[in-house]
Amino acid sequence: MRYIVVSGGVLSGLGKGVTASSIGVLMKACGLRVTSIKIDPYLNSDAGTMSPFEHGEVFVLDDGGEVDLDLGNYERFLDLNLGRDNNLTTGKVYSKVIEAERRGDYLGKTVQVIPHITDAVMDWIETVAHQCSDDSGLEPEVCIIELGGTVGDIESAPYVEALRQFQFRVGRDNVTFVHVSLVPVMGPVGEQKTKPTQHTVKELMGLGITPDILVCRSSAPLNPETRAKLAAFCHVPQEAVISTHDVPNIYHVPLMLEAQGLCATLGLKVQPNGLLDDWRRMAHHLDALQENVTIAMVGKYTDLSDAYLSVIKALQHAAMAADRKLTIDWLEAGELEHGVADDVHADAWKRLRAADGILVPGGFGHRGVEGKILAANYARTNGVPYFGICLGLQVAAIEFARNVLGMEGSTSTEFDEDCPNPAVIFMPEISTTHLGGTMRLGSRPTLFQVDDCKVKRLYGGSESVDERHRHRYEVNPELIERLEAAGLTFVGKDETGQRCEILELPDHPYFVAVQYHPEFKSRPGRPSPPFLGLILAASGQPLP
């Protein structure tokens, strides 16, 4: 087992996750089986209770783990299926150690950060690294470990110490330390500045870790003098100074790393397995796309696109497969509602009407819901392609109940507990006292109820599909019969046949909504079927 530890310095947002995933792609191109572990030094047990507004999207895994969005990067780049243990947090490690202490496992010893927390971190890494995370059924050969945060933070210190010790536990030759830093460009001639990198490497070395490879984020490729200077001051060979400069799309990143000899620096050689050729094709295909498709994304955190990262990626995968250049128009759902300033309202509606298709993504809480219901109504009554995910399905059902069944004031009990005719209700099995990890989570089967429907055809005619879930509410099962009689068909249900999973309108170009989150399983080159349906319909192309 070879471990590649990726740490970051200077500031956050340098694309450490993309760099680490891209290194993983190169390892796969060298013929190795890869897995990954993301370390998040916060005290939350998992990302499930964190606001997407603060922390970006909560990524959901097959096993129901609610994890950091970087695990999405790894799954997409490396085509993995990770588990909750691949995201190590301070909350998880401390809980484990404190539980062991309560059991009496430490036999009277004083329990301390060093060695008990650091040992627990090392044990965790070693165990998880050996777990199979793809469909080979075999143990991985390389484990990419991404350390969240910035080296020097108080909260990441125990991890840096654990990783320092880890090189002796598994052998120095089996660990490669990659440090990601920033090279800012200053002044009229665009001078590349090395001092921030010198400082962060000094900090890392002070903590006992000598980087083997420096990855420098910069706007343009590093010039030879910058590279030489960084090598001299940061104690690495020149060929181990790699630049990640701006590129037109992220598929270029693995190619850019390989072009600078990263595999050779790691003592490896790219194998003729065609993987990098696929990436090259995708990178250039994306650059060359001409015809546009515009999707209005009607959401709540629209000024923070990380909150919908996987939805964006899934739209991109689908657009690439449909040969369209994707434009996402972010619409703040609340601006479609009555009662906002006239010009804001008019502008929001103008943009909604200009879009080729409408997507209402998942969400929690009352804000913006009425705007989402209006968007679903507009799409349904005007034949505009609509795709609803999770809350996007629930608002489509509410809209139909109100405007077709005449159930005025119907909503979800999430927004009005005493609503007289709720179209969406709280699921009976969900905890009412604990928020963390208590939703209907993870991969569950959906069984198609009819043969002749768009979504089943998009999924290639399978009888059932496994997709990932994250919700507390569902379409009121008592209402399903009436909704169906009025023309809204529930083409997919769970294995009990009671719970609604997929709905569609038969006599509409594309009015589809799913209770699950198909965005989490979309892959470049293998787009999620209902996303592909939206893009095909929105760009006037035939559906399968």
Q: Catalytic annotation on 75?
A: no
Q: Catalytic annotation on 469?
A: no
Whether the bond into 196 is cis, omega within 30 of 0:
no
486-520 residues labelled b (16+ CB within 10 A) or e (exposed) = eebebbbbbeeeebbbbbbbeebbbbbbbbbbbbb
Cβ nearer to ligand GLN, comparing 41 with 388: 388
- Residue 313 in contact with ligand GLN, rule: CB under 6 A: no
Q: Judge whether 316 and 282 are in contact, CB under 8 Å.
A: no
> x-or-dash pattern for ligand GLN, window 398-437, by CB under 6 A?
----------------x-----------------------
Among 76, 380, 472, 499, binds ligand GLN (CB under 6 A): 472
Among 217, 300, 470, 499, binds ligand GLN (CB under 6 A): 470
> x-or-dash pattern for ligand GLN, window 482-501, by CB under 6 A?
--------------------
Cβ nearer to ligand GLN, comparing 164 with 471: 471
Write the CB contacts of 542 (distance below 8 Å, at least 6 apart in sequence).
536
Q: Which amino acid is at 406?
A: G
SS3 146: strand
Min dist. Cβ of residue 42 to ligand GLN (A): 22
Rule CB under 6 A: which of 236-265 touch ligand GLN? none
Q: Judge whether 3 and 176 are in contact, CB under 8 Å.
A: yes
Min dist. Cβ of residue 470 to ligand GLN (A): 5
d(CA 394, CA 439): 16
Dihedrals phi, psi of 405, to nearest 5 degrees: -85, -5
Cβ nearer to ligand GLN, comparing 18 with 373: 373
Piece of 212-220, 361-369, 402-410, 488-496 that binds ligand GLN (CB under 6 A): 361-369
What are the CB-based long-range contacts (under 8 Å, 24+) for 412-417? 412/369, 412/473, 413/473, 414/364, 414/365, 414/366, 414/472, 414/473, 415/366, 415/369
Out of 390, 419, 453, 500, the active site residue is: 390
Min dist. Cβ of residue 316 to ligand GLN (A): 21
SS3 277: helix
- Residue 391 in contact with ligand GLN, rule: CB under 6 A: yes
- Residue 471 in contact with ligand GLN, rule: CB under 6 A: yes
164: Cα within 13 Å, side-chain hemisphere: 17
Among 334, 362, 422, 527, binds ligand GLN (CB under 6 A): 362
Piece of 42-50, 235-243, 328-336, 359-367 that binds ligand GLN (CB under 6 A): 359-367
Q: Judge whether 131 and 141 are in contact, CB under 8 Å.
A: no
Piece of 110-118, 139-147, 315-323, 471-479 that binds ligand GLN (CB under 6 A): 471-479
Catalytic residues: 390, 517, 519
Binding site for ligand GLN (CB under 6 A): 362-364, 390-391, 414, 470-473
